[in-house]
Amino acid sequence: MKFNTKVGIVSYGAYIPLRRIKAADIAAQWGKDEQTIIRGLGIKEKSVPGADEDTITMAVSASRTALEKKELTGIGAIYTGSESHPYAVKSSSAIIGEALGIDHNYTAADLEFACKAGSAAIQMAAGLVSSGAMPLALAIGSDTAQSRPNDALEFSAAASAAAFVIGSDPKEIIAELLYSSSFTSDTPDFWRREHEHYPMHAGRFTGEPAYFKHITNAVKQILEESKMKIKDFKHVIFHMPNAAFPKKVAQMLGVAAEQLELGFLVPNLGNTYSACSLTGLAAVLDMAEVEDKILLCSYGSGSGSDAFIFKVTSNIKKIKKQDLVGEQLEKKKYVNYGEYLKLMKKINLE
């Protein structure tokens, strides 16, 4: 899908909780070999939300950073993608809008599609803005990822948020959205039914027919439409359920290690689900230079991938450098396994 009118990111923000737990501490709790776990998943530690943090509070923090980077008015839509919305029936996006003090003349929706709900929010926001329906829209990916104790997901399921203000003013766009492409199928590799605390997953089945199939098809499709090649991109960001999968799909698509480097956060952050690839995009934008081309491809179980091509403009020089993703990753406080259980409210849930 090519955008016939200019549209793109005019501002952005990310939020990573202060707390972390080391993979070694989780492994020790369950009598597992920490080196085997770390080698297999490539995750050394992950973020942990505080007792007063959830999808909404993190989304508000990320969005405030986005709005503080530039003086912005006229947001006509708020879309929040997550698989850990605090309410089954009550809008996260409306609460976020209220907390941000946004005028009430906006449309809002909460999105769900496993780990690609945030990228779907960007697509929807870009579609409305490029149509001329509104000057700006706010797209958010935010998650406090769930995992059953002593499940493989416990080593990766983490928390963060990323927010992007989408606009159409050429004088404001810092990263123009040139193309977007999606690939979707009913491939049930990961799911959580209503009233269940933790998701279920099909183990290694989540690889070949799910993650790799959808990302490679979405990327090949967008490269064909854009007539671009992998070597044209300075930065490439994939969804990061662990460190092994994005590295493997990079090899499959001919992506070099240096193209992945800036947005490859998973070893020290974990998999933040709907915010995962978007937090990687925020990290790239923190350091991007004018004319850099960025390829982003999300993945959501169930299953689908959204691919995007962005081109960084000279307006990136005007953006305020604050709350950088790298700085947030470095600022941390470790918790032990007991504290982690309490913070994640996993005690007495079985």
- Assign residue 245 the CATH number of its domain: 3.40.47.10
Query: In the prediction, which pLDDT does 203 show?
Result: 60
Confirm whether 2 is domain-assigned: no
pTM: 0.95
For residue 209, the model assigns a pLDDT of 85
Residue 313 inside a domain? The answer is: yes
Residue 159 sits in the same domain as residue 204? no
Cα distances from 36 to residues 32, 115, 147, 245, in angstroms, run: 8, 26, 20, 16
Q: Are residues 156 and 98 in the same domain?
A: yes
- φ, ψ (nearest 5 deg) of residue 342: -65, -45
Q: In the predicted model, what is the mean pLDDT of residues 57-68?
A: 97
The total of structural domains in the chain comes to 2
Identify each DSSP E strand in the chain by its residue range.
8-15, 19-22, 45-48, 75-81, 107-111, 136-144, 159-167, 175-184, 190-191, 200-201, 235-238, 293-297, 304-312, 333-334
Same domain for 219 and 72: no
User: What are 194-244's pLDDT values in tens digits?
Assistant: 777 776 666 655 668 899 999 999 999 999 999 999 999 999 999 999 999
Mean pLDDT of 150-177: 96
- In-domain check, residue 1: no
d(CA 90, CA 125): 21
- What confidence score (pLDDT) does residue 148 get? 86
Residue 272 lies in a domain: yes
Distance from chain centroid for Cα 341? 24
Tens digits of residue pLDDT in 181-198: 999 999 987 767 777 777
Q: Where is pLDDT greater, at 342 or 204?
A: 342
| % the chain with pLDDT above 90 | 83
Residue 313 and residue 331 share a domain: no
Helix (H, G, I), strand (E, B) or coil at 199: coil
State whether 206 and 297 are in the same domain.
Answer: yes
197 is catalytic: no
Query: Does residue 279 share a domain with residue 191?
Result: yes
Same domain, 34 and 55: yes
- Give the pLDDT mean for 37-62: 96
Which pLDDT belongs to residue 201?
A: 66
**Do 191 and 288 share a structural domain?**
yes
- Catalytic one of 83, 172, 214, 235: 83
138 and 34 within one domain: yes
Range of the domain at 212: 178-317
Average pLDDT over residues 67-78: 90
282-286: long-range contacts, CB 8 A cutoff, minimum separation 24: 282/12, 282/13, 282/14, 282/162, 282/325, 283/14, 283/324, 283/325, 283/326, 284/235, 284/237, 285/9, 285/12, 285/174, 285/175, 285/312, 285/316, 285/319, 286/321, 286/324, 286/325, 286/326
Judge whether 163 lies within some domain.
yes
69 vs 221 pLDDT, higher one: 221
Regarding whether 339 and 295 lie in a shared domain, the answer is no
Average pLDDT over residues 129-158: 94
Neighbours of 75 (CB within 10 A): 23
- Whole-number average pLDDT of the chain: 93
8 Å CB contact between 158 and 46: yes
Is 235 in the active site? no
Residues 114 and 58 in one domain: yes
Catalytic site residue from 45, 53, 85, 115: 115
* In-domain check, residue 148: yes
Token reading at 181: 């492409």
Is 276 an active-site residue?
A: no
Quick check: is 349 in a domain? Answer: no
Question: What gap in Å lies between CA 237 and CA 307, rounded to an integer?
Answer: 10
Q: Residue 349 above 60 pLDDT?
A: no
Instruction: Return the closest-CA partner of residue 304 out of 230, 254, 239, 251.
Output: 239
pLDDT at 348: 42
Give dist(CA 66, CA 89) in Å, integer.
27
Cis amide linkage into residue 303, ω under 30° from 0:
yes
Among the options 201, 214, 235, 239, which is catalytic? Answer: 239
Does 3 reside within a domain? no
In the chain, % of residues over pLDDT 70: 95
Both 208 and 166 in one domain: the answer is: no
Instruction: Please name which of 121, 77, 130, 83 lies closest in space to residue 103, comparing C-alpha atoms.
Output: 77
